[in-house]
Structure 1
Amino acid sequence: MDDLEFRRRLLSDPHDRSDEILQKILDDQQNRQYVEGLLNLDSKIEQAFHVDVPDDLADKIIFAHSPAKKQVNMSSRMFALAASLIFAIGLGVGQINWGNVLVSPAHASLENMAMHHIEHGEQFISGINEGNSEQEVNAKLSVYSYRLSSDFPYHIYYLNHCGFSATQHALHMVFAGQHGRVTAFVTKIHSDKKIDFTQQGMKGQIIPLEKGSLVLIGSKQENIDALSQTITPLLTFTQ
């Protein structure tokens, strides 16, 4: 695959993680930066759609169309039209059960998604040792509205965004535990309670955050609970 095809496919789907795409990301730092930029843009676009409708917008629209407003200039008519459109869009968005669309199906298999991502992606980053700084961690955490309250206490081998599901992406971190490498995902997918799980000879834990979840996965010998008690308090919500 040449660079043009690589970029064309990612522009079409920033979350594409086929074997060819993963290999191109692994081979070239510029490709990793390009993917990171696309995911950051994708996140900003997603946030732009989450705009609250003002409580008094309906009253303003009604007032703008009342009989008392006989003399209406072109700018006020434009405002009324725009407000009506925004109000209609807001009502439409409000009628969608986003919890069922994004949260429930994802949360029901959050551990499966994490394990699937490790199974199909860790082989491409097993030899990477980036030694990322606190500044780099905070730069990537900011996409998920988090920052570190103090230094991250473990050596970081790998740090980047990843396509975690069809609708969500996550911060993907690999760091040094007591018994080998530990994988962490910070995602906006909500979880109601802490969940411990064991799959494919590994064990993990899902930890609820203020807005999203932290997923930790390591070897069966790793004390995942101790890691979560150390890392979770470091994740400070910024909004």
Structure 2
Amino acid sequence: MSPRDLLHQRLVAGLAALPCDLAEAAIERLLDYLELLARWNGTYNLSAVRDSLDMVTRHLLDSLAVAPCVVGTTLADLGTGPGLPGIPLAIAAPQRAVTLVDSNGKKTRFLRAAVRELKLDNVQVVEGRVENVSGSFDCVTARAFASLADMLAWGGHLLAPGGHWLALKGRVTAEELAAVPAPFRVLEVRPLQVPGLDAERCVVIIAGPDPVVGASGTRNQP
């Protein structure tokens, strides 16, 4: 069995366990992304994970575990690094417009190459600090690069009214949840089961400001 076949086998088994139903074309594109990441990683040090089989678990399956929580037609992935979870989520749902945000130049160079080589027409890359980025997104994803309060202070302006912020964390304390500032509200702390990963994972689902009620009494949705 070839190395690619082994990666395919682990990915398909993990997707079935999540469960996450993807077309074969999407599975192949996920593996293409992984091979590209592994190739660049030797020079650019984009990820501490070096083994490709571990990348399937720690990068692809770990990212796709949050897919059922994503809402809307636009998504911003803040502090995306080498495109996690943004690129796997974009491949899984090509109808959704995904914006990848990172301030690290070598990582955004990789991201632009990945978008080009994988023909990810629904993805754009923004190089810059989160607080300086503009836009309005139905959903925002962010791995735990800071506390919930700090993440929202820097990037909360990007969340559309009625949208959901998905903070991906290992664990979260009651104190951190209580510190989430208004008008944001914690809706749920959902445990994530990542096949093959013996580590605690959760997503904190945070609601943005309520949609504005217009003169007619109807809500103006994002």
Structure 1 length-normalised TM: 0.23
TM-score, with length taken from structure 2: 0.24
Structure 1 or 2, whichever has the larger Rg, is 1
Question: Whose RCO is larger (CA < 8 A, sep 6+)?
Answer: 2
Higher helix share: 1
